[in-house]
C-alpha cells in the first residue's frame, strides 16, 4: 500500500452542489480560506516539500547503514563525543533535507505536477528510511 | 536547593515535548480529515487550527530529537569508569546483562533512529498547511497525502516514545526514583 494517495491531483475537489465559477473552479473553492495565496497556485511547492521529506528520511536511513558498515564513516559521523555517530547522522540528514528542499522548491514551485510520480517517489523514499532504520535490517551490514 | 540534576531536567524537557506532540497531532489530524464544515468562518478557523497544530507537532518533534540526541542520549550511552558499578549507566548496564541486552540492541537502536525520521515528515505537513492552506482545503488528494505523512510521523513517534518509556523502566534510571 502506498503511503501517499497516488491518484492525479490535477484539480482541487469540487464540493457537492457548488456552482462552477467563471474560472472553471467551484465558487466555494474560491471563497475557501486557509491560505493567503491564490486558489490557482500550482502544486509544485507542495510536491517539493513532500519529496524533500522523503529525501531526508532516505538520507538518514542510508547514513545509518553506512555507519554500521564502515568504522571510518561511523567515526566521521561522530560530531559530538557524547551523542556519538547519531549526532552526525542527524546533522547530515538535516543538511541534505534542507538543501534538497531548497533546490526542489526553486525548481518546482511554479509547476503543476501529476501527482502519481510525486506520490510514488515520496513513498519509496520514506520506505527506504523506515526499512533502513529498523535494527534487524541495518545490523545486517555491521562490519 | 537543586530539585533536579541537569540530566533529570533534560529528560523532563524531552518528555514534556510529548505534550506538544499529542496536541499538535490531535488538532492537525482532526482538521485534515474533517470536511464537514462549509461555513466560511468555520473553515477559516479550521485552517488556522490546522496550521497551528501541524506547526506545533513539527516543533515538538524537532525539539524531541534535538534534546534527545544532544542532551539525554549522552547520559544514556556514557561509559562507566573502569571497575565502577553500572547502575548509573543505562547502556552499559543493559549490555552487561544478557537478558536485557535486547533493550539496547533492538529497543534503543530502533528508538534513536526511527525518531529522526519524524521531524522531516511533520515539517513538510506543517509547511504545506501554512503556505498552501487554500489548496489543502480544496484538494482532497493533497489532503490525503498529508494525512498519510502526518500519520506515519505520529506512528514513528509513538514507537520511539514507547520504547523510550520501556527502556526507562528496564534500565537503571535514578530519575524514576524521585
Closest CA to B124 of A27, A46, A41: A46
Reduced to 3 DSSP states, what percent helix, strand and coil does chain B have, rounded to the nearest 5?
Answer: 80, 0, 20
The pLDDT of residue B16 is 87
CA-based nearest residue in chain B for residue A26: B138
Which grid cell is B25? 497531532
Q: pTM for this structure?
A: 0.85
The pLDDT of residue A12 is 54
How close A52 comes to chain B (CA, Å)? 8
**What's the whole-number average pLDDT of chain A?**
83
Query: What residues in B contact A130, CB-CB < 8 Å?
Result: 114, 117, 152, 156
* Whether B5 contacts chain A with CB within 8 A: no
Compute, in degrees rounded to 10, the torsion defined by CA atoms B150, B155, B158, B159: -140
Residues 37-96 on B with a CB inside 8 Å of A are 38, 40, 43-44, 46-48, 50-51, 65, 69-70, 73-74, 77-78
The pLDDT of residue B70 is 93
| B96-137 tens-digit pLDDT | 999 999 999 999 999 999 999 999 999 999 999 999 998 998
Contact at CB, A133 and B127, closer than 8 angstroms? no
Asked whether the predicted pLDDT for residue A132 surpasses 70, the reply is: yes
Higher pLDDT, B176 or A97: A97
The pLDDT of residue A134 is 98
Q: What is the average per-residue pLDDT within A112-141?
A: 96
CA-based nearest residue in chain A for residue B51: A34
Q: What is the average per-residue pLDDT within A38-58?
A: 91
The pLDDT of residue B4 is 74
Low-confidence ranges of chain B (pLDDT < 50): 176-178
Chains A and B form CB pairs within 8 A to the count of 172
Return the bridge partners of A20, or none: A26
Cell 546483562 belongs to B97
Report the SS3 class of residue B17: helix
Higher pLDDT, A92 or A9: A92
Query: What residues in B contact A35, CB-CB < 8 Å?
Result: 47, 130-137
Contact at CB, A3 and B69, closer than 8 angstroms? no
* A123/B48 Cα distance (integer angstroms): 28
| B19-28 tens-digit pLDDT | 999 999 999 9
**What's the whole-number average pLDDT of chain B?**
88
The pLDDT of residue A10 is 52
* Whether B9 contacts chain A with CB within 8 A: no
Distance of CA B113 to the CA centre of its chain: 12
Query: What residues in B contact A80, CB-CB < 8 Å?
Result: 70, 74
* B143/A12 Cα distance (integer angstroms): 10
The pLDDT of residue A9 is 55
The pLDDT of residue A5 is 54
Residues A87/A78, Cβ–Cβ less than 8 Å: yes
ipTM computed for the complex: 0.90
From residue A7, give the alpha-carbon distance in Å to each of A50, A114, A115, B35, B140. 15, 9, 6, 19, 10
Residues 136-175 on B with a CB inside 8 Å of A are 136-142, 144-145, 148-149, 152, 156
| A6-34 tens-digit pLDDT | 554 555 554 454 444 333 343 334 334 34
Amino acid at each position: 500500500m502506498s503511503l501517499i494517495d497516488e491518484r492525479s491531483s490535477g484539480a482541487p475537489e469540487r464540493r457537492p452542489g457548488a456552482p462552477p465559477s467563471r474560472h472553471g473552479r467551484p465558487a466555494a473553492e474560491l471563497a475557501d480560506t486557509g491560505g493567503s495565496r491564490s486558489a490557482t497556485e500550482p502544486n509544485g511547492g507542495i510536491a517539493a516539500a513532500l519529496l524533500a521529506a522523503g529525501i531526508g528520511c532516505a538520507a538518514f536511513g542510508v547514513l545509518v547503514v553506512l555507519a554500521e558498515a564502515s568504522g571510518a564513516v561511523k567515526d566521521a559521523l561522530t560530531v559530538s563525543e557524547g551523542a556519538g555517530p547519531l549526532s552526525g547522522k542527524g546533522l547530515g540528514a538535516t543538511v541534505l533535507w534542507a538543501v534538497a528542499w531548497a533546490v526542489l522548491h526553486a525548481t518546482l514551485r511554479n509547476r503543476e505536477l501529476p501527482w502519481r510520480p510525486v506520490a510514488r517517489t515520496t513513498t519509496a523514499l520514506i520506505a527506504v528510511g523506515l526499512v533502513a532504520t529498523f535494527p534487524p535490517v541495518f545490523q545486517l551490514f555491521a562490519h | 536547593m537543586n530539585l533536579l540534576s541537569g540530566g533529570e531536567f533534560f529528560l523532563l524537557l524531552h518528555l514534556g515535548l510529548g505534550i506538544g506532540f499529542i496536541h499538535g497531532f490531535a488538532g492537525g489530524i482532526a482538521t485534515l480529515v474533517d470536511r464537514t464544515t462549509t461555513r466560511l468562518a468555520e473553515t477559516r478557523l479550521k485552517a488556522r487550527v490546522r496550521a497551528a497544530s501541524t506547526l506545533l507537532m513539527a516543533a515538538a518533534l524537532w525539539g524531541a530529537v534535538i534534546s534527545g540526541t544532544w542532551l539525554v542520549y549522552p547520559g544514556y550511552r556514557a561509559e562507566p569508569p573502569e571497575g565502577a558499578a553500572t547502575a548509573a549507566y543505562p547502556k552499559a548496564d543493559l549490555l552487561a546483562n544478557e537478558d536485557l541486552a535486547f533493550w539496547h540492541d533492538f529497543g534503543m537502536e530502533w528508538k534513536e533512529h526511527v525518531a529522526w525520521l519524524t521531524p522531516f515528515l511533520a515539517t513538510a505537513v506543517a509547511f504545506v498547511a501554512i503556505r498552501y492552506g487554500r489548496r489543502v482545503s480544496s484538494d482532497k488528494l493533497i489532503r490525503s497525502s498529508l494525512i498519510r505523512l502526518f500519520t506515519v510521523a505520529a506512528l514513528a513517534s509513538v514507537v520511539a516514545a514507547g520504547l523510550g518509556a520501556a527502556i526507562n523502566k528496564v534500565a537503571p534510571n535514578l530519575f524514576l526514583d524521585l
